Structures are given as structure tokens and as C-alpha cells.
Amino acid sequence: MRHVPRAMFYLRLVAAQLEMSTLTALQYRLGFWTEGLLGLLWSVIGIAPLFVAVDHLGAVEGWGRWELVVLTGCFTILSGLFTAVLQPALRESMTHILKGTLDYVLLRPADGLVLCLTCAFQPWHLVEVLGGLVLVIAGLWLGEVEVTATGLLAGLATGAAGLMALYAFGVLVLCASFRALQLQALTHVMEALMDFGRWPAQVFPPVLRLLFTFVIPLLVMTSYPAEALLGRLSWGTVAELAAVSATLLVLARLAWVRSVRGYTSASS
């Protein structure tokens, strides 16, 4: 009935949140250099182990040098989005939980989860996203891969599924930290785990591959989009991955509703 105005309201709300955090971020100029550019540098340096493997083996499980560059590009885009949008929001929300100021967030007349997931933003990490895009394009170009329209579509679809899975996972971590504040360290676990997203799916032993596809959908975020772009992924797999993400999202939403009901607010 009022869906369209609500959507407009949420758009305005998210814009206002982004504006606030950009204004805040601008207070810290040093962040631009330390976090943005060095983040990009680090994303690129991170390929080192992969290239050590290629150096010794010629190709890693059927992935040649340039294909690995595409994969690294996908990874860099994702980790850039993570550090620009999701990670700061998770950290800020956890600080709110710790200090008890989550009270104010929950008292605002809008969806608490939307408020939490948009409450902080680090614009300069978008540099990494740009860098990742450059890597993807360069890898495809130099590897002389012809990207078909369906490949591109499948790549975007799996990428979107991966991003959703990442968000769902972040929300689950946030919910866990409602229970025990120390579980905030899970974000570090999450960050460190993400690093394995650099590797092609085929490298992992079957058990880990299942784990990283269905439980911690790391590969959905990086390896599969790259494969889709390279035209190696069937639509069946794409649908499967979308289903995984959707399931995680539903789980995350349920966990959120439960957590808020059990919220006890920091000491009275």
C-alpha cells in the first residue's frame, strides 16, 4: 500500500547516513592515505602466494596467470566493498552495543537492521573497488578472453549473490555479538578468512570447498563470479549459489529479529 513512499524514505535515509559518515571520514585526512591506497596496495601484494604457486606449477588447477589476475580483481572488488561499506558498519554497530548507544539506533522509526548496516562508511576504500575493476578488465584483456553477454550476466548475478552472502554473514556476526560482546572478534575471523577467497575453488580439498561454498560462502563471493566471467559456470550453479545466498539472508534476518527481542541494553 505504502511501499513506494517507504522505498523513497529508505533511499533518503541511506543517503543521509552515507553523508554523515562521509563527513565524519573527512575529519581524518590521514585515513585516505593509510587506508585507501595502502588497502589497494595490500590487495595486490596479497596475490604473492598465488603467484609463487603459478611460478612453480605453471598453472593452478587449470587457472592460468591472467585468469588468476581476473580472480584477484574479483577478490579486490569484494574486499574493497567489504572494507568500505560492511566492515565499518559492523564495527560501528558493535561499538553501539558496547557503549549502549544502540538504544538510540533502535529507537529511530526505521528498520533497525537497515540503520545498523548503513551507520558507517569509509568512502576511500572504494579506491580498492576501482582497482579491482581495473584488474578484472586487464586480466580479461591480456588473457584474450572473450566475455559473452551471458557470461557477464552470470558474473554479475553470482557477484550479487556473493555480496548478499557477505552481508548475511556480517549480520550473523553482529547478532552473535549481541549475545557475547567478545564475539565481536568474529569480524576479525571473517576478515582473515576472506583472504582465502583469493584462491580458485578447485584448490581446496572437497570438505573445505563445501564449507566455503555453503557455510561460509567465501567462494560464492570471488571464485565463482570470476569463473562466470570466464564463461565456465553453468546456469544451474548460478541458481544454486543464489539459493545459498537467499537462505543465508533469511537466516540472518531471523537471527536479527531474535537478537533484538533479547536485547538487554548495556548496564542500566
- The distance of closest approach from Cβ of residue 14 to another protein in the complex, given in angstroms and rounded to an integer, is 10
CA distance 96 to 265: 10
Binding mask of the shown chain, residues 111 to 150, with x at each position contacting another protein by CB under 8 A: -x--------------------------------------
Give me the least distance between CB of 204 and another protein, in Å please.
7
DSSP for 113-155, written as a single string: HHHHHTS---GGGHHHHHHHHHHHHHHHHHTTPPPPHHHHHHH
77 binds another protein (CB under 8 A): no
Question: CB under 8 Å to 85, separation ≥6 — which residues?
Answer: 121
Is 180 among the residues that bind another protein (CB under 8 A)?
yes
Q: Does 44 bind another protein (CB under 8 A)?
A: no
Cβ(157)–Cβ(68) below 8 Å: no
Q: Applying CB under 8 A, which of residues 3, 4, 55, 236 lies at the interface with another protein?
A: 55
CB of 253 to another protein, least distance (A): 15
Q: How many whole angstroms separate alpha carbon 62 and alpha carbon 50?
A: 13
Q: How far is CA 162 from CA 127, 197, 204, 263, 265, in A?
A: 20, 11, 18, 29, 32
Among 1, 4, 57, 149, binds another protein (CB under 8 A): 57
| Minimum CB–partner distance for residue 210 and another protein (Å) | 13
Q: Which is nearer to another protein, 103 or 239 (CB)?
A: 103
